[in-house]
Amino acid sequence: MVTQKMIAEKAGVSIITVSRVLNTPDKVKPETRILVERILKEYQYTPNQIAQSLVSNKTSIIDVYIPEYIALDNPFAMYFIAGISDALSSQLYSFSILRNLNREHNCDGYIVTGLLSNEFVPVWEYAKSRNRPMALFGHVALPGVDCIDVDNVIGACEITERLLEAGHRDIVMLNVTEEKDYVHDRQMGFYRAFENKSLIGEGKAIGDRSDIEVVQCSNSSGSAFYATKELLNRRQPTAIFCATDTIAIGVVQAIYEKGLSVPEDVSVAGFDGLGHHLLTQPQITTVRQPIYEIGKMLAEALLARISGKEESFKNVLLKPQIIEGKSIGAATHGTGVKGNAD
């Protein structure tokens, strides 16, 4: 077995220098580091992770907290985990997926997603009490937390503006019945598009926007299907903006069951762009969230925090992009804003 002592003798340096090249390479002179790294590669040296953990007081493990109510086989979770894995593996880190906070084990920090509005503080306190850094997929004003999120307001605003530019004025939003920031933000973006087009007064609170209808349903195609059937039994809007592509699937199914067509009779827009928008005919015009990229960025930010290379905390909003489908057409009826907001 190749040891650090053998590498040190071959390179003509001390064992401490070899250890520094492996653990804190920035503290070694470039020419010495390059020499040692070359010999390490030549002899295919594999570090003893257990020994390294004892020396550095680090486990080289990150806990990724994804609450139990988020299925790990949905596209969001899979893209998120893939991005995290990409960043961590390049630094020889592994990760463990936590489904709840009842199980305790050693790790170097936490990457967190999927929190309800009332869960931010408890999870932050959990990490803080263990003196471990936390990186959050979201945006929240908590000290000592790296936050990276999608700009859901901008994304929802731009896709709604796309509908308005196609002549639609009677647009209904199907939103998710969850107390999460993205739910509120996408509804705010929906309203902002009308404000930008001077179709409703600026500065109104959500409950005051009585001329625009928002229908609530759970984030499932089945719930969206029945919510849309009920809507179409009352009246026929020219367009429906769906807070998620999962909802959009159920909306399209309900439109077809009613004997209507997309986009000829009702245009449909979605949000997520993680694959579900491809499951309908026509394909949904949607807003793509860069989930893989955010997972990778959060892992990189946390590793920088653990290594002490980062001093300021991140608070980043990434702008999503519209993916063109064929589910938005020109409005053929109804030019006025209608309906009542929930």
pLDDT in tens, 163-219: 999 999 999 999 999 999 999 999 999 999 999 887 765 454 444 455 789 999 999
Query: 118 is written with which tokens?
Result: 């009332």
Q: Is the pLDDT of residue 241 over 50?
A: yes
Stretch 246-255: mean pLDDT: 98
What is the pLDDT confidence band of residue 264, given thresholds at 50, 70 and 90?
very high
The alpha-carbon radius of gyration of the chain (Å, integer) is 25
75 contacts 40 by C-beta, under 8 angstroms: no
pLDDT in tens, 104-134: 778 999 999 999 889 999 999 999 999 999 9
153 contacts 188 by C-beta, under 8 angstroms: yes
286 contacts 273 by C-beta, under 8 angstroms: yes
> What confidence score (pLDDT) does residue 198 get?
79
Q: Are strands 134-137 and 109-112 parallel, antiparallel or unpaired?
A: parallel
How far is the first Cα of the chain from the last one, in angstroms, to the nearest whole number?
69
Stretch 258-277: mean pLDDT: 96
Highest-confidence range of 1-10, 53-62, 131-140, 210-219, by mean pLDDT?
Answer: 131-140
Q: Is the pLDDT of residue 6 over 50?
A: yes
Average pLDDT, the chain: 88
Stretch 227-251: mean pLDDT: 97
> Coil, strand, or helix at residue 337?
coil
112 contacts 123 by C-beta, under 8 angstroms: yes
Query: 188 is written with which tokens?
Result: 């705010």
Q: Which structural domains are found in the chain, ordered by start?
A: 4-56 (1.10.260.40), 61-150+291-319 (3.40.50.2300), 152-288 (3.40.50.2300)
What is the pLDDT confidence band of residue 15, given thresholds at 50, 70 and 90?
confident
| Neighbour tally for 202: CB within 10 Å | 10
Return d(Cα 191, Cα 189) in angstroms, integer: 5
Stretch 56-81: mean pLDDT: 89
33 contacts 61 by C-beta, under 8 angstroms: no
Query: 22 is written with which tokens?
Result: 């492996």
Q: What distance lies between CA 260 and its chain's CA centroid?
A: 34
